Amino acid sequence: MLLGIIAVCVAITIGLFVISLTPQKSPLSEQLERIRSRNVSGPARERFAAMEKIFGDDGRSQLQRQLMEAGWYTTTPAQMGARIGGGLIAGIAIGLLPLFFLHPFQSVYLVMPLIPAIVGGYLPFMALNQAIARRKEEVQRSLPDFLDMVATTVQAGIALNQALGYAVAVAPGALGDEIKECLSQIRLGRSHGDALRAVAMRVSQPQLTATITAITQAEKLGANISMVLNELSIDVRNERVMAVEEQAAKLPIKMVFPMALFLLPALFTIIFGSVAAELLPQYVSWVK
């Protein structure tokens, strides 16, 4: 009986993870395929719409925003729901395994799968938060060099859109991908300001948002964009240095517990070990 429950949990987990890891097409691509095939049925993502209902309207919109910040554009809230459900069921299966070795069986043992189930359900959110932090850090590292390149090309007399295209080469990774997407939207007819603001909304990185706001304001006011970009580059570098200094200032506090845990026992062993080695034979002989 117990083995059958575990097998069912494993099968459901594998199925949910297969569904969650299958890249979904964008709504525009699905609409185009529907037009070509003249298929009046709903898009494929509607098959998993029930999974999105577990988040609610506000939770679904917040989760969608987090997926955009992480760069998981092919992952839908329904797929995240499938991953959470798969993690929960996998945790239950793992928690049921120790019951094979607990005899006699008692009903209180059924509480054991709760902790692995909670951990398994939280793992997708942990991976999402790590992806968001990693992407924002990558953007922060690439931003100063990107701004320097844009400022240099603008000073050489190149238009801002072309300067952004040239600067993509020095901004690999998330920032370069977002700028490429921005330029693609501009070529399709979207306004320059709207495309840049869409980048800021997708990435949601404070320094990049401030940079895009300053660029759009400078364009509206007719200010010297190259000077604005140079100032922004200096500010971003200063903020990065301040962040590094802040992390360095926190290191002594973070080192207190590792030092107390690993250094002090070794230090006490070195100081008192020789004394104990001399007194131990005397103590043993006295006891005898």
Can you give the pLDDT at residue 131? 92
Residue 5 has pLDDT above 50, yes or no: yes
Q: Tens digit of pLDDT for each residue in 216-272? A: 888 888 778 888 888 888 888 888 788 888 888 888 888 888 887 888 888 888 887
Residue 26 has pLDDT above 60, yes or no: no
pTM comes to: 0.71
Cα separation, 77 vs 59, in Å, equals 9
Residue 46 has pLDDT above 70, yes or no: no
Cα separation, 67 vs 77, in Å, equals 8
Average pLDDT, the chain: 77
Q: What is the mean pLDDT of residues 164-168?
A: 84
Q: Tens digit of pLDDT for each residue in 171-205? A: 778 888 888 888 888 888 888 888 888 898 988 88
Residue 150: name the closest of 128, 127, 183, 104 by CA: 183
Tokens coding 188: 């399709």
For residue 104, say if its preceding peptide bond is cis, omega within 30 degrees of 0: yes
Instruction: List domains and CATH numbers for the chain.
Output: 2-112 (no CATH), 138-250 (1.20.81), 261-287 (no CATH)
Can you give the pLDDT at residue 129? 92
Can you give the pLDDT at residue 39? 44
Percent share of the chain, pLDDT over 90: 3
Residue 59 has pLDDT above 80, yes or no: no
Residue 150 has pLDDT above 60, yes or no: yes
Cα 144 vs. chain centroid, distance in angstroms? 22
Tokens coding 248: 């360095």
